[in-house]
Chains A and B, each alone.
Chain A
Amino acid sequence: DTGVSQDPRHKITKRGQNVTFRCDPISEHNRLYWYRQTLGQGPEFLTYFQNEAQLEKSRLLSDRFSAERPKGSFSTLEIQRTEQGDSAMYLCASSLTWSGRETDTQYFGPGTRLTVL
């Protein structure tokens, strides 16, 4: 296993279109997180899953955003009716709850860079 993977790496879309991103976490990691990072800012938490259950959603996650993790493995993040303000890097991270190992934490993927024209 080579880490968290995200697809696509880049997405250019026109305003009003729907987009969907995929995240494949490290195998056996039961927690999966989505963050959004805009230029010059740190990542901001959007939502997270424990297995297939979505446990918390940020107020940043408007009604146009929906995330799923149907079988507790990969996750998708969909943005409907995209707006220019949605342009950002969307980062996925995964972790193993209560692994007991000092070095375990959230491992981040390379991100999907979204540009809305």
Chain B
Amino acid sequence: QKEVEQDPGPLSVPEGAIVSLNCTYSNSAFQYFMWYRQYSRKGPELLMYTYSSGNKEDGRFTAQVDKSSKYISLFIRDSQPSDSATYLCAMTVTGRDDKIIFGKGTRLHILP
């Protein structure tokens, strides 16, 4: 079993829909949780960063962490074609400077 599991998709949704992306993990030592967005042939770009359990909102993006279930989610409201990308969940044990353990990424297509 991999440390971080993420459905690779692809996931296709119509423009304006709410998108739900999620990951599960097995290592209870993870405390810092992130979502990265990666466009084709580019490096990952940090979208959301949360520490421990709870919710965090930033514009159209909401990240949720449930440590008791070892489950994290990213919600995108009012999805736009420009949101089409691969979304990587990621986590670390000791903080932002720790090596990052990534999921394999979910390919998202927003249909105009």
CA distance A105 to B8 in the complex (A): 25
Query: Can you list 19 A-B contacts with CB-CB less than 8 angstroms, sorted by A residue number?
Result: A33-B99, A40-B8, A40-B104, A41-B105, A42-B90, A42-B103, A42-B105, A43-B88, A43-B102, A98-B97, A104-B96, A105-B49, A108-B36, A108-B45, A110-B41, A110-B42, A110-B43, A111-B42, A111-B43
Q: Which residues of B contact A108 (CB under 8 A)?
A: 36, 43-45
User: Size class of A's contact patch?
Assistant: 20 to 34
CA distance A103 to B48 in the complex (A): 9
A42/B42 in contact, CB under 8 A: no
Residue ID in chain A nearest B51 by CB atoms:
A102
Other than the known A102-B49, A113-B41, what 6 A-B pairs have Cβ atoms closer than 8 Å? A40-B8, A44-B102, A107-B46, A108-B43, A110-B41, A111-B43
Residue ID in chain B nearest A58 by CB atoms:
B99
Q: Which residues of B contact A98 (CB under 8 A)?
A: 97
Interface of A, secondary structure class, is loop
How many residues of B are counted as interface, with CB atoms below 8 angstroms from the partner's CB atoms? 23
CA distance A44 to B101 in the complex (A): 7
User: Which residues of A come within 8 Å of B, CB atoms?
Assistant: 4, 31, 33, 35, 40-45, 48, 56, 58, 91, 93, 95, 97-98, 102-111, 113
CB distance from B49 to the nearest CB of A (A): 6
CA distance A91 to B102 in the complex (A): 13
CB distance from A9 to the nearest CB of B (A): 9
B34 located at the interface, meaning its Cβ lies under 8 Å from any Cβ of chain A in the complex:
yes
